[in-house]
Amino acid sequence: MASAKYSLPPLPYAYDALEPSISAQIMTLHHTKHHQTYINNLNATLASQATATSKQDIVASLHLQNALNFNAGGHINHTLFWENLVPASSPNAQPTAAPKLAAALTAHFGSLEKFQEKFTAMLLGLKGSGWGWLVQDTETGNLELTTSRDQDIVPVGKKPILGVDFWEHAYYLQYLNDKASYAKGIWKITNWKVLEARYESGYEGVFGPLAGLRSSI
């Protein structure tokens, strides 16, 4: 069957470019091992599913759905994550790179600092592996904070604007159990320019070449 359908996107910066917020060792393992494994398992699951479909084996197909959600979610979430980070020295790491979003966040949360505090508190409240998200409701246009469990993607109708990986592999080699310091460090390397582009983009546009994959899970 058609295999190796998806491949690991290159990082938009060097592995050590996010130091000291995220170490080069973490970035290397996270990208070349963890993200790659989601992609490998996604491609394997898609190949199995194609076989099941060709045999009209609905039961086998249903059993594969869980693995598809997990691994496609892992690929989509990590892709969004790498894109919404940037070296701290970049002008895009400043909220001034996102004038419209910053104004909307200030209007909604009172100030950017309050938004950041709420986002960090939400991350620290996760019970197990998962992600913290700033999303925009596509119907109301409202900005909302939400979490997703394991590798679940954000629900349909919520456009992801900022995603932060809060699995232990995302910070443990550097921060150990001090996950609060990792969470706070993210704000130094947030790519506000990308956040602004997602805020202004349509729903499908945020997912780029993975829009089709998103709609399949």
Shortest Å distance, C-beta 80 to other proteins = 18
Interface size with other proteins, residues (CB under 8 A) = 20
CB atoms near residue 206 (< 10 Å): 22
One of 165, 192, 206, 210 touching Fe ion (CB under 5 A): 165
> Would you state the structure tokens that stand for residue 79, as one six-digit string?
């892709």
Shortest Å distance, C-beta 199 to Fe ion = 24
End-to-end CA distance of the chain: 20
One of 34, 118, 184, 188 touching other proteins (CB under 8 A): 34
- The response to whether 169 counts as a known ligand-binding position is yes
Paired residues of 65 in beta bridges: none
Residue carrying structure tokens 């898609």: 46
Q: Which does 70 bind (CB under 5 to 8 A by kind): Fe ion, other proteins, none?
A: other proteins
129 in Cβ contact with 166 (< 8 Å): yes
Judged by CB, which is closer to other proteins: 107, or 121? 121
- The response to whether 165 counts as a known ligand-binding position is yes
- The response to whether 178 counts as a known ligand-binding position is no
Judged by CB, which is closer to other proteins: 144, or 152? 152
Shortest Å distance, C-beta 125 to other proteins = 9
Each residue 11-30 as x (binds other proteins by CB under 8 A) or -, in order, gives: ------------------x-
In the complex, which residues of this chain contact other proteins (CB under 8 A)? 29, 33-34, 37, 66, 70, 127-130, 149-151, 167-169, 172-173, 176-177
Q: Which residues bind Fe ion (CB under 5 A)?
A: 165, 167
